[in-house]
Structure 1
């Protein structure tokens, strides 16, 4: 592993200590700085070079989204384009989309466990070349031998479910996710990828994407379109809607996994669209 430096920003000392302990338990040689608010983080970001920022959203003096906006606008700052992971209890769709619009790299929703946080850090370290896939594979083997598996081994494979389970909207439509079987077409970046539906609700869908069938998979917060299908022939139902990618995970605990789960949060949904989705879910569930 190459030398790396991390900045943790949170107004709660307990949470800062928790994040620092989690990442240093996995990466013992990692250099970590911390700040209790956005103003102090600005000073550190101007002074030092970092490889990653873990930042709370709600803080006094300067919020996480204000710090993110400031950082992305600093043309002469060497940290301008570094990965910025928002760690926050604000997990609703509007906050996720707002963070994406301001250039956030990834999102961790509180409360989180050590594994979830370390997985996000490892994913960014892989992308930046701080840790190689060969080094990750060795860590996976070591964890499996010593502990029967560990957080690094699950960097792309932790069981991420949809967060709308058990919820309902005012018109009485059940929005909870259901495991269903069906087909879909994922459209992004001028690509059309045939996929299978794993879970579906009126707010989100989890698709199974075969890597060998698509040259490039979508990335987090990408804007996509999803065409959902149910039935056959004249009885077939079709519905297409827009969404944002909110999570990615490998189907198997291998860095060369053949399939990827793609979680998509629907956007621009009105009551009519939710009714159509509710009917489609019922058809696929029957």
Structure 2
């Protein structure tokens, strides 16, 4: 793994410390610097090169969007095209659009957990070649183990799919149904292979658009007849991309998605949907 330098910008010390700790636990070899507002970050960006900026939007002196706008206008700067992830509670569509128009690379909405943050960082490090594909495989394996054992990971090795060592209460169930994945500009209908309240394994034809590893997306489920239809859309993170068969001509791809920020109400509704799809 190559060395990398990350700049964390947030006016709240607690949030800065949280982001630094999350990155250093996963990537202790990375160098992480901090700034408490956009002005201080601006000075650091003028004198040092960085591989990634994690930046709050709402800050005194200079906001995150102002820092991003300034940075993208610096034609002579070594950091002009640096990966820039906005970390903010401003999650409404208009803010996301505004950030995209100013050249943001990615977006994390507060509150977030360590897994979400590290996944975003990992994605950018892979794109830049700082983390190799082989190293990514090791990270995925380790992270899947930490996140709860043999469910998603087993599809890599088990001939039966995901029937592994997970407790029976959380064991993935084979279901018959469809789901909808929404990522980027794509709205992709997929076939559900296995599903529980923590994750889903979907089957996607190889010739369709595929999400990236660790990409966050939305998953939509529908079950039941029109008059008694149950619907749920929830957020998830891609933790698995695997050819359905071990041959280069495989026609389908397994996509494993682990749900994030699933509240109790949504989990109960998903349980009902699983029961309906399994019947």
TM-score normalized by the length of structure 1: 0.59
1:104/1:20 Cα in 2 relative to 1: closer, same or farther (>3 Å)?
Answer: same
Q: 1:86-97 counterparts in 2 under 5 A?
A: 86-97=86-97
The residue aligned with 1:149 is 146
Matches within 5 A, 1:65-84: 65-84=65-84
Query: 2:47 & 2:61 partners in 1: Cα distance?
Result: 19
Q: For 2:109 and 2:122, how far apart are their aligned partners in 1?
A: 17
1:62/1:140 Cα in 2 relative to 1: closer, same or farther (>3 Å)?
same
**Residue number in structure 1 paired with 2:255:** 259
Q: Is the 8 A contact 1:137 1:255 kept in 2?
A: no
Question: Where does structure 1 lack aligned partners over 5 or more consecutive residues?
Answer: 155-180, 198-207, 222-246, 262-284
| CA gap 1:135/1:35 in 2 versus in 1, 3 angstroms | same
Contact map agreement 2:86 2:106 (CA 8 A) in 1: yes
Q: Show CA shifts across 1:224-279 (max 9, x none).
A: xxxxxxxxxxxxxxxxxxxxxxx884374x56663377xxxxxxxxxxxxxxxxxx
* SS of structure 2 residue aligned to 1:23: helix
Within 5 A, what are the aligned runs for 1:21-60?
A: 21-60=21-60
Residue 69 of structure 1, CA deviation: 0.8
CA displacement, residues 55-106 of structure 1 (integer Å, 9 cap, x when unaligned): 0000001100111111111111111111110111111111111111111111
Question: Where do 1:125-274 residues align within 5 Å?
Answer: 125-142=125-142, 148-150=145-147, 210=204, 212-214=206-208, 249-250=237-238, 252=240, 254=241, 258-259=254-255
- What displacement does 1:13 show? 1.1
Relative to 1, partners in 2 of residues 1:196 and 1:18: Cα closer, same or farther, differing over 3 Å?
Answer: same
> What is the TM-score of this pair, normalised by structure 2?
0.60
Preserved contact between residue 126 and residue 133 of structure 2 (Cα < 8 Å): yes
Shift of 1:149: 2.1
Cα distance in 2, alignment partners of residues 118 and 20 from structure 1: 10
Report if the CA contact (8 A) 1:37-1:63 is conserved: yes
Give, in whole Å, the separation in 1 of the partners of 2:44 and 2:93.
31
Kindly indicate whether the alpha-carbon contact (under 8 Å) linking 2:212 and 2:238 is maintained by their aligned counterparts in 1. no
**1:109 match:** 109
CA contact (8 A) 1:195 1:210 kept: yes
CA 36–255 in structure 1, closer or farther in 2 if over 3 Å, else same:
farther
Per the TM alignment, residue 38 of structure 1 is displaced from its structure 2 partner at its CA by 0.6
Q: 1:214 to 1:111 in 2, by over 3 A?
A: same
CA 1:64/1:259 → structure 2, altered by over 3 Å: closer, same or farther? same
